[in-house]
Amino acid sequence: MINHVIWYRMSLRDTGRRLRLRRTGHVPADARVRHYDELDDDEQGIVRELADAPWTAPETGDLDDGDVVKFTDYYLVRSR
């Protein structure tokens, strides 16, 4: 299996964790919802690359595990 690596200019956390986006039809009441146009350019790039893709990207300073991003659909942010 080939791993797809995405590199961005943003500062990464020292945790070494990776982000993945999963389409979701349910937005938890306590989730922080981020709209695509509110994200900075680098985070928008991550969302475009990871939406419906089996890839991961380095964790960013502003998208956290459990956040939901409204893009073409709602996407749950998972960080591991």
Number of domains in the chain: 1
Q: Is 77 helix (H, G, I), strand (E, B) or coil?
A: strand
pLDDT in tens, 42-53: 889 889 999 978
Q: Is residue 49 part of a domain?
A: yes
Q: Is residue 8 part of a domain?
A: no
Q: 46 lies in which domain range? A: 18-79
Predicted pLDDT of residue 6: 47
Average pLDDT over the chain, rounded to an integer: 82
Contacts of residue 28, Cβ cutoff 8 Å, sequence gap at least 6 = 66, 68
Asked whether residue 5 is assigned to any structural domain, the reply reads: no
Instruction: Please check whether residue 38 lies inside any domain of the structure.
Output: yes
* 3 within domain boundaries: no
pTM: 0.78
Q: Which residues of 2-29 are buried (b: 16+ CB within 10 A; e: fewer)?
A: eeeeeeeebeeeeeeeebbbeeeeeeee
In the β-sheet with 74-79, what is the strand arrangement from edge to edge?
A: 33-35, 68-70, 74-79, 18-23, 57-58
